[in-house]
Amino acid sequence: MSYLDIKKELEQHQVELVAVSKTKPIESILAIYEQGQRDFGENKVQEMEAKYQLLPKDIRWHLIGHLQKNKVKYIAPFVYLIHSVDSLELLYEINKQALKNNRVLDVLLQIHIAREENKFGLDKTELIEILDVYEAKNPGLQNIRIRGLMGMATFSDDQEFIRNEFNGLRDLFRFLQQSYFLSDQSFSLLSMGMSSDYRIAIEAGSNMVRIGSLLFGNRTS
């Protein structure tokens, strides 16, 4: 599908597009940038940093892959949104680096919704632990803004199975909006859906999709 077709479809549903440019060269990113896209997602810190250096500075960089604590410092000066917060320790480190850079960093909490064990993400107990600390206005998190949730469905051909996982994440998101975040309108982002399942995700209530191969073609590496 062309960039403009995808963009149009998403706009009809008021869904934001993160163009996942991992493994893709600068020229491919620029081609979509020139059509108006500003939000790009990468899953590796080093690759994102290298591309940040080379590309226009109005690009909004989304870190969508697993983030190691010792690498937060490399992206803290410029990252726009971290989708993949999966521990309280990581959140403390992001806060520390945000402080150093005099920024407030926007993050999503990644929730483990898939059947696969190898996918990252918080379980309910870990989620509640983080929210309790955040809600208590813990000084260790004062430069963090939790903007919403992110999740990845199981890799499967079973549409109903995927739908169930997305619906579960949406229900959790709405529950948190009505409880922990009742007085915090900035908790508003639900990042779910990729090339293979973004339509199911949108039906389930996603408002931010992360699309790579459908836009850029299949990745060889």
Ligand X SMILES: *Cc1c(COP(=O)(O)O)cnc(C)c1O
Binding site for ligand X (CB under 6 A): 20, 22, 43, 64-65, 152, 194-196, 210-214
State in angstroms the smallest separation of the CB of 188 from ligand X.
19
State in angstroms the smallest separation of the CB of 199 from ligand X.
12
State in angstroms the smallest separation of the CB of 133 from ligand X.
25
| φ and ψ of 48, to 5 deg | -65, -40
**Closer to ligand X at the Cβ: 83 or 143?**
83
Joined tokens for residue 43:
């899953």
**Closer to ligand X at the Cβ: 56 or 217?**
217
One-character DSSP codes across 83-127: EEE--HHHHHHHHHHHHHTT--EEEEEEE--SS-TTS--B-HHHH
State in angstroms the smallest separation of the CB of 139 from ligand X.
31
Please, which residues have CB within 8 angstroms of residue 159's CB and are 6 or more apart in sequence? 200
Query: How far is 164 from 12, CA to CA, in rounded Å?
Result: 23
How many Å is the Cα radius of gyration of the chain?
A: 17
State in angstroms the smallest separation of the CB of 22 from ligand X.
6
**Closer to ligand X at the Cβ: 141 or 151?**
151
Joined tokens for residue 140:
């260790």
**Closer to ligand X at the Cβ: 111 or 141?**
111
State in angstroms the smallest separation of the CB of 151 from ligand X.
10
Query: How far is 159 from 181, CA to CA, in rounded Å?
Result: 31
Does residue 123 contact residue 114 with C-beta atoms inside 8 Å? Answer: no
Tell me 80's DSSP state: S
Please, which residues have CB within 8 angstroms of residue 51's CB and are 6 or more apart in sequence? 21, 26, 29, 40, 42, 61
**Closer to ligand X at the Cβ: 62 or 141?**
62
Which residue number places its CB atom closest to ligand X?
212
State in angstroms the smallest separation of the CB of 10 from ligand X.
13
**Closer to ligand X at the Cβ: 124 or 219?**
219
**Closer to ligand X at the Cβ: 108 or 141?**
108
